[in-house]
Structure 1
Amino acid sequence: MTLQRKLSIVVAGLAVVASTAGFTHGTPHWQLSDTGTTARFRGLAPVSDKVAWVAGSAGTILRTTNGGRSWQSVGPADAAALQFRDIEAFDARSAVALTIGNGPDSRLYTTNDAGRTWTETFRNDDPNAFYDCVTFLDRRHGLALSDPVDGKFRILATSDGGQTWAVRSPAGMPAALDGEFAFAASGTCLVSAAGQAWFATGGGAASRVFTSTNGGHTWAATATPIPSGPSAGIYSLAFRDRTHGLAVGGDYATPEAAPAGAAHLRGRTWIVSRTVPGEYRSGAAWTGHGPVALAVGPTGSDLTTDAGKTWKRFDTGSFDAVLCASDGACWASGEQGRVAELSWR
């Protein structure tokens, strides 16, 4: 084969990847924002390429409406001692945020005026409950996930956009494994798409994915091949619809080694990726461009263009969470106030 022919094949291949990703040229690159804080942002809620919310340590919530050129501190005044781990935003004015911890440290707040005021709409009164993540199936119907209480994961539900919450009956929840729990690492241990909800676990003998098709009333559990242990399992799920799912994780205690830390859904079976990130990843997100998705963790970011079958590193910076808005804008957040929007260069 001639050199010219080889170059033609390479160029054609790159064009296919770029077309699949919905872009005309370039490689992915994180464009960092100056947030003016050192808070760690594990909660992330992008609305568009201009509007995004982040939530994190020391009760910090920030909001931008100009693509990250400037950020406003909009957290609840009474939450300075709490740790936000998830935030769900409906638009530039409305959001629901979750703090974590045993007992009353697990709370939910809502705002409808761009964070000028917040209402505490739920405070956990069970010392054995620890809420990890929250998701909304639509603007009114949402679910929050707690680690097991009396041997079963607990689901909290709202049908009025987060104004009121009620604990679901445990009757429809399978029993938890010994030591099993969820990871409050990036707000994506509980996710939803197309009216369905999923949550991921670790800590026990196997990492599992739980699925509900009826608003969180009943759940079915499926074992996955991602290794599980005291600090290992699935840290993040991403679904673009009911049949295309991604799971990433590893062991937070050994972030530089996760030999089977990524899987994708084939039918109803989870399959380890042929090429994995190889290191602990705490967040994953579909970009909205077909089979293209992202994964992030404290040691770098990875891209897949084949729905999770293979992954390739494109950045070595530290992030905890990644999500993409409906307009295709992708954002990441993490330690030391790091927030970035994805660009292509």
Structure 2
Amino acid sequence: MTSMGKTRRTVAVGLGVAALAACLLTPAQAVPVGSDHESTRAKDHRTAGATIWNLKATGTDVRFRGLAAVSRTTAWVAGSKGTVLRTADGGRTWRNVSPPEAEGLEFRDVEAFDRRRAVVLAIGEGEASRILHTTDGGTTWTESFRNPDPRAFYDCMTFFDARHGLAMSDPVDGAFRILSTRDGGRSWHLLPSTGMPPAQQGEAGFAASGQCLVSSGPRDVWLATGGGATARVLHSADRGLNWSVAESGIPAGDPARGVFALAFDGRGQGLAVGGDYRTGQPSPQAAAVSRDGGRSWRPSTTPPPAYRSGVTWLPHSSVAALAVGPTGTDLTVDGGRSWHTVDTGSYDTVDCTADTGCWASGEKGRVARLEP
């Protein structure tokens, strides 16, 4: 591609993201983004009871806490009753590609590289925690890991690229346990725990959205915790061998409270969301921001009004992001300092792609795409 072609593409993507963020703003926050039409649309977009998400019929009522957005047209979701679905036409149709004899498994995370290659994680104690992978769009699946330790409980996965990835378990023998793959999920090996800080009493990860373990770039990975005295964020700069730890400031001190999801933008900016997942329980200070790669965190000045389980940066933006949970979707346009509710539908997780495709999924078979 020529330099002029690259410039035109960058400008076009930037304008698309600006328009996307403007369309999500509430009337009081709307700002011009390049044209009178766009500004008017942003002001008029939000009305009482409106939704920013375009629901896609999936034909099932299972809960999809696992989501992998590949593009605006291709996405994978994974959930309860061993269910895995895939779309390649923007959600108009979904193919049931669930692994055979998986109805008893609880899938909570899926990582996909394209429409043919994906890895899914099932959670649970002992052998209930499993990892399966496919290279033919879900026509066939191969189990590549079955947890042999009854003390381990795997929560989340992340991949640095199509070959290298990690999966994490709640603490065993006083430390979080990390699996590593170098072949796209075909095989896994346990990393040594010598570089892992000691876990707090009761500390664990939350298998709520597939975002308690996230990566950015070729080597950096972050792990979110809760349940202990403080909610912490652990960071490794060497693909999980050595870890540092920082307090997030999000309230913990209870098995139901802590950091549930993380997102990093590749420039050291991080977002953490969480709270108390119990229905009706307050979740004050349920979001925090890092500007130094997770070494330190400060609370959002205006956090989401309730528990949030998923978060993602809008593509190609250093200031705009979405957070989702059972009571709604919130938008930030100032890098996580303040959040504003833009939708009241129930979603558990959210993911965006480089071509400005944003997807969300959750209970009762809900999958949706952002279509401003």
TM bucket, shorter chain: over 0.9
Instruction: Measure how far apart 1:266 and its partner are.
Output: 3.1
Instruction: Measure how far apart 1:278 and its partner are.
Output: 1.7
2:268 aligns with one of 236, 239, 243: 243
Kindly indicate whether residue 192 of structure 2 is the aligned counterpart of residue 202 of structure 1.
no
Letter in 2 for 1:340: A
Q: Which residue of 2 aligns with 1:58?
A: 81
Instruction: Measure how far apart 1:253 and its partner are.
Output: 1.3
Q: What is the distance in 2 between the residues matched to 1:324 and 1:318?
A: 18
User: 3-state DSSP class of the match of 2:86?
Assistant: strand
Q: What is the distance in 2 between the residues matched to 1:29 and 1:316?
A: 9
Instruction: Measure how far apart 1:243 and its partner are.
Output: 1.1
Q: Is the 8 A contact 1:62 1:74 kept in 2?
A: yes
Deviation digits for residues 285-326 of structure 1 (CA, Å, limit 9, x no counterpart): 011141110000000000001110100001111000001112
Change (3 A) 1:316 1:140: same
Q: Which residue of 1 aligns with 2:53?
A: 30
Q: What is the distance in 1 between the residues matched to 2:174 and 2:262?
A: 23
Moved more, 69-78 or 255-264: 255-264
Higher strand share: 1
1:266 aligns with one of 279, 291, 297: 291
Q: Which residue of 1 aligns with 2:337?
A: 309
Q: Which residue of 1 aligns with 2:306?
A: 279
Q: What is the distance in 1 between the residues matched to 2:280 and 2:365?
A: 20
Aligned Cα RMSD in Å? Answer: 1.7
The TM-score normalised by the length of structure 1 is: 0.93
Counting only pairs closer than 5 Å after superposition, residues 81-230 of structure 1 correspond to structure 2 as: 81-195=104-218, 196-228=220-252, 229-230=254-255
Deviation digits for residues 61-96 of structure 1 (CA, Å, limit 9, x no counterpart): 000011011111001002110000000000011000
Q: Is the 8 A contact 2:323 2:329 kept in 1?
A: yes
Q: What is the distance in 2 between the residues matched to 1:168 and 1:47?
A: 28
Percentage identity across paired residues of the two chains: 55
Q: What is the distance in 1 between the residues matched to 2:132 and 2:343?
A: 34
Q: What is the distance in 1 between the residues matched to 2:287 and 2:101?
A: 38
Q: How many residues align?
A: 331
Q: Which residue of 1 aligns with 2:93?
A: 70
Q: Is the 8 A contact 1:255 1:299 kept in 2?
A: no
Letter in 1 for 2:234: F
Instruction: Measure how far apart 1:255 and its partner are.
Output: 5.0
Letter in 2 for 1:200: A
Q: What is the distance in 2 between the residues matched to 1:142 and 1:266?
A: 24
Q: What is the distance in 1 between the residues matched to 2:328 and 2:30?
A: 22
Deviation digits for residues 144-192 of structure 1 (CA, Å, limit 9, x no counterpart): 0000000000000001110110000010100000000000000000000
Q: Is the 8 A contact 1:277 1:313 kept in 2?
A: yes
Letter in 1 for 2:56: S
Change (3 A) 1:171 1:255: farther
Instruction: Measure how far apart 1:15 and its partner are.
Output: 3.5
Q: Is the 8 A contact 2:316 2:354 kept in 1?
A: no
Instruction: Measure how far apart 1:127 and its partner are.
Output: 0.3
Change (3 A) 1:67 1:147: same
User: Gaps spanning 5+ residues in structure 2: where?
Assistant: 1-25, 46-50
Letter in 2 for 1:135: T
Change (3 A) 1:164 1:255: farther
Q: What is the distance in 1 between the residues matched to 2:296 and 2:227?
A: 20
Q: What is the distance in 2 between the residues matched to 1:302 and 1:95?
A: 29
Change (3 A) 1:12 1:272: closer
Q: What is the distance in 2 between the residues matched to 1:276 and 1:334?
A: 21
Q: What is the distance in 1 between the residues matched to 2:129 and 2:92?
A: 32
Q: Is the 8 A contact 1:274 1:310 kept in 2?
A: yes
User: 3-state DSSP class of the match of 2:30?
Assistant: helix
Q: What is the distance in 2 between the residues matched to 1:312 and 1:248?
A: 14
Q: Which residue of 1 aligns with 2:12?
A: none
Q: Is the 8 A contact 1:255 1:279 kept in 2?
A: no
Q: What is the distance in 2 between the residues matched to 1:241 and 1:66?
A: 29
Q: What is the distance in 1 between the residues matched to 2:365 and 2:29?
A: 37
Q: Which residue of 2 aligns with 1:14?
A: 30
Q: Which residue of 2 aligns with 1:234?
A: 259
